[in-house]
Amino acid sequence: MAALRWLLRRYKWLVAISALLALFTLIHFKRQPTEVKLVRRYRSNEQHANMANWPTPLAQHWRANTEQLAVLDTIIHDAQCTTCHDDIDWSHRQQRVVSAARTAWHSYARDAFGHDDYFPLSHRGSNFTHLGIGYIVADVLDTLWLMGLRDEYKMGRDFLANQVSFDQRGTVSLFESTIRILGGLLSAYHLSGETDTKLLMLADDLGSRLAKSFNTTTGIPPETATLRSDGMSFAHVCSTSESSTLQLEFRYLAHLTNNPMYKESVDRIIDVMLNAPKYDSLVPTRIDAKTGLFVGTEISLGSRGDSYYEYMLKQWLQTKQSEVDLRVEYDAAVRGIKKYLVRTSPRQGLTYVGEMVDVTGEPKFSPKMDHLVCFLAGNLALGATNGTH
């Protein structure tokens, strides 16, 4: 004991530091959540350089806790039950949805009206440029109209018409600005009777600024755009979906303004993509803006891949089904999706859509389904009905 006390006195600082390190380690690991890996990636038994010869993936297995399985069983039961929903008051549910939208809008209007981004927990907003670009207001304007929230619609419309200017310095996402601001302005203009010339003027002004981004070798734009003509962003490799999800908005803008430049610019992108080599009409999630060729072997209907397929069909519908090559390409892509990406889970027999991941240049199937892939069911229904129902 005497020897132990002597050691403790001699090395007391070392003992103290060791104790603190041990305490920190215990606290740190106690706070770390247990990592649950629900997805495993599998390699095929053979190597395939050509994705046209993709192998059928091996059986996938994952762990799920009892609560998750109970939820799945409930979903399956409800889907198979033909009488479970007969007593649902759909009108009441509709009113609840409208009420939720109204509450969300009023919270935004109270805390951060006019800002491009909203942080509901801290009750504040922020802008993507110094002056802001009306991002949220333009994005929700058509929804407010559809829900019959006319007072809220007028509040948003008047803000855009009187306080938003795109003549400012700043770099914005070309994709997000197109589908949310330009698309929001055009949709609100259409739904409100195509008489609000101020909304159309704003859309034309924004479109002319974003259209500068199409002035590249292949026409494939960078992912960011400058609002003033004082510079331009360049990118070597771009997102496939972001480049192919501009056409509906710019084509409609060309129609309304009688300016063919808008349509010609975005049509050029699709022409490049239609002529690029593919894998059973499935496209990788990245494309080389300089060569117009797809990059890698990563195939996904999730982020960076999803709306390529969505807009292919919708462009065909937008042109009154006149551009047949778009429908042919869409149908071929659906066959490719069914052949390579649609699988059934081994335990519950649930249908899901996986993806191909790029592993050292080789395509490998992964049973991971992104949330964004949920668009596919509606898109297939749209294709099956040709937009008539």
Phi, psi of 343 (to 5 degrees): -140, 170
Mean pLDDT of 218-243: 85
pTM over 0.75? The answer is yes
Write down the pLDDT at residue 89.
85
Per residue in 92-149, pLDDT (tens digit) is 999 999 999 999 999 999 999 999 999 999 999 999 999 999 999 999 999 999 999 9
Alpha carbons 222 and 327: distance in angstroms, whole number: 27
Say whether 123 sits in a helix, a strand or coil. coil
User: Does 362 have pLDDT greater than 90?
Assistant: no
Quickly state the pLDDT bin for 41 (edges 50, 70, 90): very low
Cβ-count burial of 299 within 10 angstroms (0-12 exposed, 13-18 middle, 19+ buried)?
buried
- The secondary element (H helix, E strand) that includes residue 363 is strand 362-366
Q: 82 versus 293: which is more confidently predicted?
A: 293
201-217: pLDDT as tens digits? 999 999 999 999 999 99
Place of tokens 């349509």: 263
Rounded to whole angstroms, the Cα distance separating 306 from 304 reads 6
Q: Any bridge partners for residue 172, and if so which?
A: 225
- What does the pLDDT look like over 44-66, one tens digit per residue? 223 333 444 444 433 333 344 45
Tokens of 351: 């249908």
